[in-house]
Amino acid sequence: MGAWLTPSVSEGALPGIRRALILERHGAEERPITLDELSAAEEAFLSNSLGLRPLLAVDGRPIGIGSPGPVTIALVNDPDGA
């Protein structure tokens, strides 16, 4: 498993409980993320107060294999595990 990345709040990410838990529990790094990095990622997801959703493509470019990865599936199935 690779690094966990998230844009900072100053880059446009919204602060939230789920995001804070991911930063705390998984050591996610806050920094800008490029489209090339997203395209090269094994998987990606978006989180908000309603839950977590896999990010499968950006601008028509697939992320990973274009389907939810094991980390995303685990987080969706165990919301308290953030």
Q: For residue 31, what are the CA distances in angstroms to 40, 42, 64, 77, 81?
A: 16, 18, 20, 27, 23
What confidence score (pLDDT) does residue 73 get? 93
Q: Give 14-29 pLDDT, tens digit per residue.
A: 898 888 988 999 889 9
Residues 6+ apart with CB under 8 A from 47: 16, 18, 19, 22, 53
What pLDDT band is residue 30 in, cutting at 50, 70 and 90?
A: very high
Who wins on pLDDT, 82 or 60? 60
* CB-count burial class (<10 Å; 0-12, 13-18, 19+) for 37: middle
φ, ψ for residue 57, nearest 5 deg: -160, 155
* Domains located in the chain, CATH noted: 5-81 (3.20.10.10)
72 beta partners: none
What confidence score (pLDDT) does residue 79 get? 66
Q: Taking the model in full, what pTM does it have? A: 0.85
